[in-house]
Structure 1
Amino acid sequence: MPTMTRDRRRWAALAVLLVAEAMNLLDATIVQVAGPAIHAELPGPAADVPWFSAAYTLPFAVFLITGGRLGDIFGRAKVFKLGVAGFVLASLACAAAPDAGLLIAARAVQGAAAALIIPQTIGLIRARFDGGELAKALGTIGPVMGLSAVTGPLLGALLTQAISWRAVFLVNVPLGLAVLLAARLLREDRAATRPRLDLAGTVLVVAGTGLLVYPLIDPAGTNWALLAAGAVLLAGFGFQQRRAAAPLVEPSLFAHRGFPAALAGSLLFFAVMTGLMQVVPMHLQLGLGADVRTAGLTLLPLSAGLAVSSAVAGAWLVPKFGARVMFAGLALLLSGILAMQAGGAGAYPWALALCGLGMGTFTVPFFTAALHQVRPHETGSAAGLLNAVQQLGGTLGVALLGGLYLGTGSATAAFGAGAALAVAAASAVVPLTTRRGAPDLSSRRGR
């Protein structure tokens, strides 16, 4: 019986972490469809509308790597709780905002708080699980992330239409309070040797990431000078990390091809996934005249497909076939994109279901394989970097696919770019499945 009690506590702790993951991703996407309603009640320039979302994603992307290192230093459970508390308070401020300026400021605080929460998840899971159960626990992250990101626009549409746009932010409050109340289930975890915070590296990565991401989400258009400056600073960050006594990013993560391949695959996959979720509702509303609820409901087949395939992949496909399942997922995703491109809006329901099946089939083996060989002292760096690249990929997807749609007035070009990115993602993750470096994802290993 004591063993059963410990098992229940471990899986309950995992549920706490997954709710926090879901809360962040819901908030990152839920405002996308509520933006016009917010603008109608809080008058201001039309340029404010994109910043209702961008004010969240920019600080989130900028502080992710630093947030991961803070967990290494002060304890991941402690930093996690601090981030959740800040997120709840910022959500209340968003819901009560009397004007657009204060709403944008509160959204920025939300994004910074999320950057404290998300990098701690992987380390806290590793503190509670090992062996075959660790792979199973890590495999739950991808489906939750994907499903939450897809559900966000739908929930945003329903809450905005049925109640008010303020309910979009208030939904975080009970979720956040529940996480804080259940956080006692989390076991404290930190790096065995307490590192120091690399201040020079922190300044370089914050400034470089900010200059790289800001032009991509700036509604005024892409500023190539800022992009170039961001790239230069991030290159300087890479050189500085090689010489730093306590680097933000552990150099040992790049000793083998697996983790760099995971970063490239994450960048490309989330560019496709986030870009599609931006273009489809945009095309339905701007191009076909659908209302906000119809646009949100259109993504429902994608959500259903993702949920079903995630469960099947985790319970049967990955234990039986291992990391190679990723390619089957990307093939399904590519088939769905091509079907939308060829069949138009009439093909959206079943084509999006096909995309969802592909997303779920890909994410379960991908996250398990990407984190399989990460050692305890590398956890904070790996989590922060993987999440930062994922966020950058989503931003690139919105900028590229959304920009192509707005520039051409047709979804065909955007879907074509998404198909090309899906093919590139398949090439990028090859090192994760090569015989030499491929992890054993079979459930039999832990038995």
Structure 2
Amino acid sequence: MFAQEAHRLESCTRRCHVRGVHRRKGRVMRKWWPLVAVCLGSFMLIVDTTVVTVALPVMAGDLGATVAHVQWVLNVYTLALAVMTLGAGSLGDLFGQRRVFVSSLAVFAVASLACGVAPDAGVLIAARGVQGAGGAAMIGTTLALLGSSYRDRDRGTAIGVWSGVLGIAAAAGPLLGGVLTQYLGWRAIFFVNLPVSVVALVPAALSVGDPPRREGARIDVPGMLAFAAFTGTLTFALIRVGGGGGWTSGPSAVLFAVSVLALVAFVLVEVRRKHPVLDLALFRNASFAVIVLCVVATSVTFACLVYTSFWLQSALGLGSLPAGVALVPMALTSFLASVLIGKRLHAVPPRVTIGGGLLLIGAGCALIGFTVDGGSSWYALAPALVLVGAGIGVSGPGTNAAVLASAPPDRGGMASGAMATFRQLGQALGVAVLGLFYLAAAQHPAPGEDVRDAAARGLDDVYLIAAGFGLLACLLAFGPAGRGIMATTARRDPTGARR
């Protein structure tokens, strides 16, 4: 009898232990659902900035349009991101980051479907604009959602993983576009977003919480419109310059002039608003200005990938798929470095990771600039791309953590949207400026140079300029102004509240 009771008690204990283990595993899995949702959404929207690049000629032939016409399939997406990201982040502060994020996922999915079934270039361009609007709302809220969903070491891990996903997505776009276009057709580029959106919607709707909202605040419509006019005209002008329109041509000059006037109007509006869409007081802090410059410097590095792809395909004769494979070392290293640094983020001063990462980026870019020549093959890039990827992975988590620390908890969307906007503008500026140097060398060989030598010289110029940006930002991060980055984050506890 005692043996039966003992056996029954042992069986009950075992069942309770198993249930406890399953419950703990379930809690752990649910804890990371917000990260899964944010990473899936971020991966889609970043990939879609470049995934169509290799498919543009095929799109033009299928839709009966010129390549110049379908270039707007790429440009209108970039334009929508630049114009709407800051406003979307601010709306998240007012109405809830989760609500804005989930709605943007749904918009992105519907727009992706419209892109995939588009019968002509006009419909495709319009749908891409809507897709960009959905992407702007996602990227404008993601960092704030991570900040509200995780604390302490978990926050560092989440930011590290998310930063790594952004790095992989930026480098993987041409590769993924080449694979899908070659084997499934260009429409698959957009259809693949549908299942990913559905998978991301479930954890986003069920497990993502909202940061504190700004009580009593109103939508800053004049500020949003003025900032949209500034970023829209500036990005449009840079797109024209990058496409060969010229810095001083009539349309470009008008666009630059309008962007300056819109910026002045934006500043005048914001200094008088009680609840501005962008708190300009942040820029009085030298450390915040350094963070912005570091974001721009990293974005210029991503702009280099455009001309790296040109060099791989036009000078070396690689197809779109091999050219994408050549960039894998950077993407993989970026992800691994972000995850490793993110786990230790809470114990490392942000200026150390930001400055150290930019030093690696500058060194990697300089290595390409000084070693690539007309006889180089694609694998000559690998060691330098590993350095650049490591730098992006090391600096990304620290930059994002510093951005979160720079704003009050109820303005996380503003800070997130501002950094995403500066990142987008930095990349557009990088493409336009670097394009002048690459094309000047590649299209005008010096006496005694062949086409391959000239293209290599253009690529060297691109990466040496990017190295200069990276090293300058590195010096500022380690300099007197960068000391405030550590002080800013130190004034907050892990929950984001001021001490």
Query: Normalized against structure 1, the TM-score is what?
Result: 0.92
Instruction: Compute the displacement of 1:445 (Å).
Output: 12
Give the aligned partner of residue 13 of structure 2.
none
Partner of 1:425: 473
Aligned to 2:261: 232
Aligned counterparts of 1:212 and 1:417: Cα–Cα separation in 2: 21
1:181 corresponds to which of 194, 202, 225: 202
Q: CA deviation at 1:61?
A: 0.8
Aligned residue among 286, 308, 322 for 1:294:
322
* CA separation of 1:245 and 1:364: change in aligned 2, threshold 3 A: closer
1:237 is displaced (CA, Å) by 0.5
1:356 aligns with 2:389: yes
Whether the 8 Å CA contact 1:263–1:386 is kept in 2: the answer is yes
Tell me if the contact between 1:269 and 1:425 (Cα under 8 Å) persists in the aligned partners: no
Change (3 A) 1:439 1:432: farther
- Aligned partners of 1:73 and 1:190 also within 8 Å: no
Q: Does 1:193 align with 2:215?
A: yes
Say whether the 8 Å CA contact 2:144–2:404 is kept in structure 1.
no
Report the RMSD for the aligned CA atoms in angstroms: 2.6
Tell me how far 1:81 sits from its aligned partner. Answer: 1.2
Match of 1:308 in 2: 336
* Gap change, CA 1:436 and 1:143, over 3 Å in 2: closer
2:288 is aligned with what amino acid? Answer: F
Contact persistence 1:74–1:190 (CA under 8 A): no
Aligned-partner Cα distance in 1 for 2:346–2:153: 12
1:404 aligned partner: 437
Secondary structure of residue in 1 paired with 2:185: coil
Q: Which residue of 2 aligns with 1:330?
A: 358
Q: Percent identity?
A: 31
| 2:219 aligned counterpart, secondary structure | coil
Q: How does 1:135-214 map to 2 (within 5 A)?
A: 135-183=156-204, 184-214=206-236
Cα deviation for residue 48 of structure 1 reads 1.9
Tell me the CA shift for residue 146 of structure 1: 1.3
Distance in 1 separating the partners of 2:361 and 2:284: 31
Judge conservation of contact 2:151–2:495 (CA < 8 Å) in 1: no
What is the CA–CA distance in structure 2 between the aligned matches of 1:181 and 1:122, rounded to whole Å?
A: 19
The alpha carbon displacement at 1:286 in A equals 1.9
- Equivalent residue letter for 2:304: L
Specify the SS of the correspondent of 1:155. helix
SS in 1 for 2:367: helix
Amino acid at match of 2:229: A
Residues 355 and 473 in structure 2, CA contact (< 8 A), matched pair in contact too? no
Map Cα deviations across residues 104-153 of structure 1 (whole Å, 9 max, x no partner). Answer: 11111100111111212122223222344334433333222111111111
Cα distance change of structure 1 residues 439 and 78 upon mapping to structure 2, 3 Å threshold? closer
In 2 relative to 1, CA 429–51 (structure 1 residues): closer, same or farther, beyond 3 Å? Answer: farther
Matched letter for residue 362 of structure 2? L
1:216-245 per-residue CA deviation (whole Å, 9 max, x = no partner) reads: 112351412211220221122012101013
CA separation in 1, counterparts of 2:218 and 2:69? Answer: 39
CA separation of 1:357 and 1:247: change in aligned 2, threshold 3 A: same
Call closer, same or farther: CA 1:322–1:124 in 2, change over 3 Å: closer
User: How far, CA to CA, are the matches of 2:495 and 2:87 in structure 1?
Assistant: 34
Aligned partner letter, 2:39: L
Q: Give distance in 2, aligned partners of 1:403 and 1:33.
A: 21
**Matched AA of 2:257:** A
Does structure 1 residue 270 correspond to structure 2 residue 299? yes
Instruction: From the superposition, tell whether residues 364 and 59 of structure 1 become closer, same or farther in structure 2 (CA, over 3 Å).
Output: same
- Tell me, yes or no, if structure 1 residue 437 matches structure 2 residue 458: no
Contact residue 350 and residue 399 of structure 2 kept, 8 A: no
Matches within 5 A, 1:86-125: 86-125=107-146
Moved more, 2-11 or 121-130: 2-11
What is the distance in 2 between the residues matched to 1:444 and 1:246? Answer: 26
**Deviates most, 125-134 or 360-369:** 125-134
**Structure 1: which 5+ residue stretches go unaligned?**
none
Q: Deviations over 1:319-346 (max 9, x none)?
A: 3565313222222222222222222233
1:174-198 Cα offsets, whole Å, 9 max, x none, are 1111111222111234514142111
The aligned amino acid for 1:314 is: G
2:256 is equivalent to residue 256 of structure 1: no
- Taking the aligned partners of 2:215 and 2:358, their CA distance within structure 1 comes to 40
Contact 1:135 1:372 in 2 (8 A): no
**Structure 1, 86-95 or 35-44: larger mean CA deviation:** 35-44
Q: Give me the whole-angstrom Cα distance separating, in 2, the residues matched to 1:130 and 1:255.
A: 28
**Aligned residue pair count:** 445
Please give the secondary structure, in 1, of the residue aligned with 2:318.
Answer: coil
Write the deviation string for residues 243-291 of structure 1: whole angstroms up to 9, x where unpaired.
013211124433522222211211121112x212111111111222221
**AA in 1 matched with 2:69:** D
User: Which secondary structure does the structure 2 equivalent of 1:429 belong to?
Assistant: helix
Looking at structure 2, the residues matched to 284 and 394 of structure 1 have their Cα atoms a distance apart, in angstroms, of 20
- One-letter code of the match for 1:144? V
- Structure 2 residue runs without a partner (length 5+): 1-19, 443-457
Change (3 A) 1:87 1:339: same
Distance, in Å, in 2 between the alignment partners of 1:310 and 1:360 is 4
CA radius of gyration, larger in: 2
Q: Could you tell me which of 67, 72, 75 is aligned with 1:51?
A: 72
User: Which deviations, in whole Å up to 9, do the C-alpha atoms of 1:370-401 show, x marking residues without a partner?
Assistant: 32242112212111111100100111111122
Q: 397-406 or 278-287: which moved more?
A: 397-406
